[in-house]
Chain A
Amino acid sequence: MTATQSTSPAWLTEYRALAQQTLDEKALPTSTDRPWKYTDVSALDIYSLKQLETEDQAIRIVSCPEDLVVRGLIDSAHDPELEQKIQANLGHLIPADEDYLLAANSAEWTNGFFINPKQGVQYTEPLSIEIDLSKRSATIFPRILIVAEANSELDIIISSTSIEEEALVIAALELQVNNSARLAITFANNWGFNTKEFTTLRAELADNASLNISTICIGGAIVKHRYDIHLNGKGADSRVKGVAVGDKTQHFDFMTVQEHNAPNSSSDVEIKTALAGESRAVYYGITRVSEEAKGSQANQENRNMLLAPKAKADSDPVLEILTNDVSRCGHGATVGPVDAEGMFYLMSRGLNKRAALRILVGGFLSPIVDYLKDAKLADTVRATVNDKLQNASLD
Chain B
Amino acid sequence: MTTNENSSLLEITDLATSVTERPDVKILKGINLSIKPGEVHALMGPNGSGKSTLALTIAGSPTYTVDRGNVSYKDEDITHMAADQRARNGIFLSFQYPTAIPGVTLVNLIREAIKARTGEDVSAREFIAQLRETLGRLKMSEDFARRYVNDGFSGGEKKRAEILQLGMLRPELAILDETDSGLDIDALRTVAEGVTTLRDPNMGILLITHYERILNYIEPDFVHILVGGNIVASGDFDLAKRIEGEGYDPLLRELNISEEEALI
Interface membership of A346, Cβ < 8 A: yes
* Cβ–Cβ contact B87 & A349, under 8 A: yes
In chain B, residues 59-110, which have Cβ atoms closer than 8 Å to a Cβ of chain A?
59-63, 82-84, 86-88, 92-93, 95, 98-99, 101-104, 108-109
* Cβ–Cβ contact A348 & B83, under 8 A: yes
The docked-state distance in angstroms from the alpha carbon of A305 to that of B44 is: 39
* Cβ–Cβ contact B84 & A352, under 8 A: yes
In chain A, residues 317-353, which have Cβ atoms closer than 8 Å to a Cβ of chain B?
339-342, 344-353
The docked-state distance in angstroms from the alpha carbon of A347 to that of B87 is: 8
Interface membership of A359, Cβ < 8 A: yes
Point out the residue from A340, A349, A364, A366 that lies within 8 Å of B109, measured CB to CB. Answer: A349
Chain A residue with the shortest CB-CB distance to B86: A348
Residues of A contacting B103 in the complex (Cβ-Cβ under 8 angstroms): 362-367
**Best-buried of B88, B98, B102, B112 by chain A (most CB within 10 Å):** B112
The docked-state distance in angstroms from the alpha carbon of A341 to that of B95 is: 11
Against B, the Cβ 8 Å flags (1 = close, 0 = not) of A192-209 are 000000000000000000
* Cβ–Cβ contact B104 & A347, under 8 A: no
Chain B residue with the shortest CB-CB distance to A365: B103
* Cβ–Cβ contact A345 & B84, under 8 A: no
Interface membership of A360, Cβ < 8 A: yes
The docked-state distance in angstroms from the alpha carbon of A345 to that of B150 is: 11
* Cβ–Cβ contact A344 & B61, under 8 A: yes
The docked-state distance in angstroms from the alpha carbon of A366 to that of B62 is: 28
Residues of B contacting A356 in the complex (Cβ-Cβ under 8 angstroms): 84
Interface membership of A355, Cβ < 8 A: yes
Chain A residue with the shortest CB-CB distance to B83: A347
The docked-state distance in angstroms from the alpha carbon of A365 to that of B103 is: 8
In chain A, residues 366-380, which have Cβ atoms closer than 8 Å to a Cβ of chain B?
366-367
Residues of A contacting B211 in the complex (Cβ-Cβ under 8 angstroms): none
Residues of A contacting B117 in the complex (Cβ-Cβ under 8 angstroms): 350
Point out the residue from B98, B108, B116 that lies within 8 Å of A350, measured CB to CB. Answer: B116
Point out the residue from A340, A345, A347, A365 that lies within 8 Å of B101, measured CB to CB. Answer: A345
Chain B residue with the shortest CB-CB distance to A369: B103
Point out the residue from B59, B84, B99, B112 that lies within 8 Å of A359, measured CB to CB. Answer: B112
* Cβ–Cβ contact A355 & B112, under 8 A: yes
Point out the residue from B61, B88, B92, B99 that lies within 8 Å of A342, measured CB to CB. Answer: B99
Interface membership of B15, Cβ < 8 A: no
Chain A residue with the shortest CB-CB distance to B94: A348
Chain B residue with the shortest CB-CB distance to A364: B103
Point out the residue from B63, B82, B148 that lies within 8 Å of A347, measured CB to CB. Answer: B82
* Cβ–Cβ contact A345 & B99, under 8 A: yes
The docked-state distance in angstroms from the alpha carbon of A89 to that of B169 is: 61
B-binding residues in A (CB < 8 A): 339-342, 344-353, 355-356, 359-360, 362-367
20 extra interface residue pairs, beta carbon distance < 8 Å, beyond A348-B59, A364-B102: A341-B99, A344-B62, A347-B84, A348-B84, A348-B95, A349-B109, A349-B112, A349-B113, A349-B116, A350-B87, A350-B88, A351-B84, A351-B112, A359-B101, A359-B112, A360-B104, A364-B103, A365-B103, A366-B102, A366-B104
A-binding residues in B (CB < 8 A): 59-63, 82-84, 86-88, 92-93, 95, 98-99, 101-104, 108-109, 112-113, 116-117, 148, 165, 169
